[in-house]
Amino acid sequence: MISDQIAASIKSALAAADLPLPDRGIEVIAAKNRDHGDWQTNVAMALAKAVGARPSEIAQRIINALELSPPPHVERVEIAGPGFLNFFLSPTWLHDVLVEVVAAGENFGHGEMYAGTRINLEFVSANPTGPLHAGGGRWVAVGDAIANLLAAQGAEVHREYYLNDAGTQLQVFAASLYCRYSGEELPTDGYQGEYLIEMASRMRAELGNDVSIEQALDWGYADVVRQLRDDLARIGVHFDTWFSERLLHERGDVAEVLAKLTKDGHTFDKDGALWLGSEALGDQRDRVLVRNDGATTYLANDLAYHRDKLRRGFDHLIDIWGADHHGQVKSLQVGMGALGYGSPTEPEPEILLGQLVKLQRGGELVRLSKRAGDVITLSDILDEVDPDVARLTFLLQGIDSAQTFDLDVVTAQSIENPVYYVQYAHARVASIGRKAAAAGINRKELARVDLSLLTHERELDLLRSLAEYPEILSRAAELRAPHRVSTWVRDFASRLHGFYRDCRVIGEDEALTHARLWLTEACRIGLADALGLLGVSAPDRMERTDEMREPDGGDL
């Protein structure tokens, strides 16, 4: 990348000018404002204090030294503002970007940050007591996108779903299902959801009129898991492992963990229960591991579960949890630390907390509760909107802010939907390709195309976006923030529409036509890759519905 080359030049310039390296290294970033050139660095300001000189003076010394080993493509360097060094490059650097994109193809922008790392990513993991609710769709979309981002940085990513099938919730669920089946009154803490009525009638159809509560549990559990898989398949997410909590108990893993913690002096007995001395390890308080009735707690089971993941050979564990579970983060990490995994600065597992989704319909918030019964499921949403729409909508914003999912807006399939805006950009590029082919124009070998003809500001804007793409991806992976890709792709699509408007690709000038055909190909690569990482399709054509053509049902 050109920014690396500039940084390298600055580094040798600093040495030549007898200046130290800034503590934070040399930061070369893309200028936001065209007046500030193409790339800028703050090294002169960063060094001001250590060197004891004014930023402008240091900047001048760097410029002088740079002349010994100037970075490629640089036309001039200016000192501006409080001491920035602004690099103005010839457009040729952007033509090189085009070549890089085409050469890398579908790997363009991908990196090696996590090469050789095996990462286990656990997400969704809702209790198997009912269908996935709509809000859970956020974790489906976010988890899958993060997995893609990590994989694009070279990681071997394993998607995992934890089935909490040994706890009391499943008992309550089975009892609720049984009551729906037998007509008895639901337990007060039972699941009120109407989906159980439907399930009960199917259970009767399949198993007859003489079902025991144990059978209800087995059948209901299997049925729910099947529903979960189906819903996830509808939105295109595949898990590598569905892990059963029962296995941890049957195999004695939980007992092993408890024995180890006790042997190492991390536990104590109180009130007939076994406690983890977690407060001493940095938790808010101590936590119960074994209740006084002998049952192990969620924490004990979860410790065994995460230990198992690491024993399966993963280098790193990531869990995505809803923010309503944030109280458990510290105890799990501290407990894993006591078992000898992770470190205080890099605990295992790494836990990503996502704020919850509020559903809105008709301008009012819809309350979601699996138990209370007023459930809008992910499946309901997918009945109304395309999976692409659902996915991108969930990926539009960062996970640490609460999301309001407006069902009216999303299901309207309206023109304002960013999904169509971005996909349309891709369809347009494909359309140009079809048009060119129909006219008998095929792209010449890239090496024989004169890219220096690409000088229009619209063209350069597209290439600048592509130049930033690798950095966008690595930051998004590092921060586990797929919404950065969403933001990029919307902006990129916008630039592509602007280009389309102002620059005709297939025209009289044959050389320019070929240059622009390659430019659109590079754009297609970038768009398709970004959408792919987000789990959104990149269609070659799009159907326009009648509803869209006549939004008011008006006369055309």
Residues of this chain, 217-256, that bind RNA according to CB under 7 A: none
Region of 81 (left: φ > 0; alpha: ψ -120 to 50; beta: rest) is left
Distance CA 42, CA 31 (A): 11
Cβ distance to RNA smaller for residue 346 or 416:
416
Stretch that binds RNA, among 206-214, 236-244, 258-266, 394-402 (CB under 7 A): 394-402
Report d(CA 525, CA 105) in Å as an integer. Answer: 7
C-beta closer to RNA: residue 121 or 163: 163
Binding piece for RNA, criterion CB under 7 A, among 148-156, 449-457, 527-535, 542-550: 542-550
CB of 528 to RNA, least distance (A): 15
Kindly provide the b/e burial profile for residues 249-281, where b requires at least 16 CB atoms within 10 angstroms of the residue's own CB: eeeebbeebbebbeeeebbeeeeeebbbbbeeb
Return the range that interacts with RNA (CB under 7 A); candidates 29-37, 104-112, 145-153, 226-234: 29-37
Beta-ladder partners of 232: none
Site for RNA in 83-102 (CB under 7 A): 83-84, 86
Contact between residue 527 and residue 536 where contact means Cβ atoms under 8 Å apart: no
Q: CB-wise, 209 or 545, nearer to RNA?
A: 545
What are φ and ψ of residue 290, in 5° steps? -130, 120
Q: Least separation, in Å, of the C-beta of 204 and RNA?
A: 28
CB of 503 to RNA, least distance (A): 5
Least spacing, CB of residue 330 vs RNA, in Å: 8
Binders in 361-380 for RNA, by CB under 7 A: none
169 binds RNA (CB under 7 A): yes
x-marked contacts with RNA along 120-149 as a string, rule CB under 7 A: -------x----------------------
For the beta carbon of residue 519, count every other beta carbon within 10 angstroms. Answer: 29
The interface with RNA within residues 403-422 (CB under 7 A) comprises: 403-404, 415-418, 420-421
Q: Which stretch binds RNA (CB under 7 A): 88-96, 147-155, 200-208, 268-276?
A: 268-276
Kindly give the pairing relationship between strand 39-41 and strand 403-406. unpaired
Give the integer Cα–Cα distance in Å for 248 and 242: 13
**DSSP letter, residue 68:** T
Q: Which of 76, 270, 311, 312 binds RNA (CB under 7 A)?
A: 270
Integer Cα distance of 421 and 542 in angstroms = 11
* Nearest-approach distance from CB 201 to RNA, in angstroms: 27
Task: Confirm if 476 and 484 have CB atoms less than 8 A apart.
Answer: yes
Stretch of residues binding RNA (CB under 7 A), selected from 94-102, 343-351, 480-488, 526-534: 480-488
Say how many Å lie between the first and final Cα of the chain, rounded.
Answer: 51
Using CB under 7 A as the binding rule, the residues of this chain from 500 to 519 that contact RNA are 500-507
Tell which one of 238, 263, 285, 448 touches RNA (CB under 7 A): 285
**Residue 540 CB coordination number (10 Å):** 14
DSSP secondary structure of 77-112: EEEETTTEEEEEE-THHHHHHHHHHHHHGGGTT---
113 counts as binding RNA under rule CB under 7 A: no
Our finding on whether 21 is near RNA (CB under 7 A) is no
Binding mask 318-357 for RNA (x = CB under 7 A): -----xxxxxx------------------------x-xx-
In contact, 360 and 366? CB cutoff 8 Å: yes
Radius of gyration of the chain (CA): 29
- Least Cβ distance, residue 116 to RNA (angstroms): 24
Q: Does 18 bind RNA (CB under 7 A)?
A: no
According to the binding rule CB under 7 A, does residue 435 interact with RNA? yes
